[in-house]
Amino acid sequence: MGLRLGDDAPDFSADTTEGKIDFHDWLGDSWGVLFSHPADFTPVCTTELGETGRLKDEFAKRNTKVIVVSVDSVEDHKRWSADIEETQGCAVNFPIIGDTDRKVAELYDMIHPNAGDTSTVRSVFVIDPNKKVRMTLTYPKSAGRNFREILRVIDSMQLTDNYKVTTPANWEDGDDVIVSPALSNEEAEKLFPAGWNELKPYLRMTKQPNK
């Protein structure tokens, strides 16, 4: 059975393009994004890792570290990084795990035999500073991921961890949010003195509290 939301993110030691790491120690008190790509020297993966490099500052703003894994070797990762920089205009500025023994891929259930049993699918795990799995995504090998969506969900989780709100469909940072249905109106008045728009008793829209 794969990892579920709220599970402890498995720890591991691994060789990467930036040296050997112990995953939990490497994360420290940061949020983390661990994602897999099927193989080096492949077209979709090349664009994905280039986009990840471009978003380095955006992840840093969110106290989030990114690390990537595939079943290829560190040596292959390093050779491929030159292609990524050449074609995507951005250097690889995050570690890539060499997982030739599939230890990490199996820990995180990243190999799906019905989609091909020799490489990882496009899995994403967002892990919080308590080393809990907070979000998972799985894409088919043919579809590149939307990394802005990953940032958007991190924004939502970091907001809702600190305020008694939830975020509606298609929410972006700065948009109105939903007052937690667990709060009574009396409790909500203390937390949201500017009030809210009550569409239904369970659907109360208010301004994002940290803006």
Amino acid residing at 145: R
Selected catalytic residue, list 14, 33, 34, 45:
45
How many Å apart are CA 161 and CA 49, to the nearest integer? Answer: 29
Query: Does the CA dihedral 125-41-105-9 come out positive or negative?
Result: negative
- 90 noted as active-site residue: no
Closest CA to 166 of 203, 199, 133: 203
- The long-range contacts involving 140-146, CB below 8 angstroms and separated by at least 24 positions, are 140/115, 141/38, 141/44, 141/115, 141/116, 142/44, 143/44, 144/44, 144/47, 144/48, 145/35, 145/48
**Integer angstrom CA distances of residue 112 from 6, 122, 181, 196:** 22, 10, 38, 45
What residues act catalytically?
45
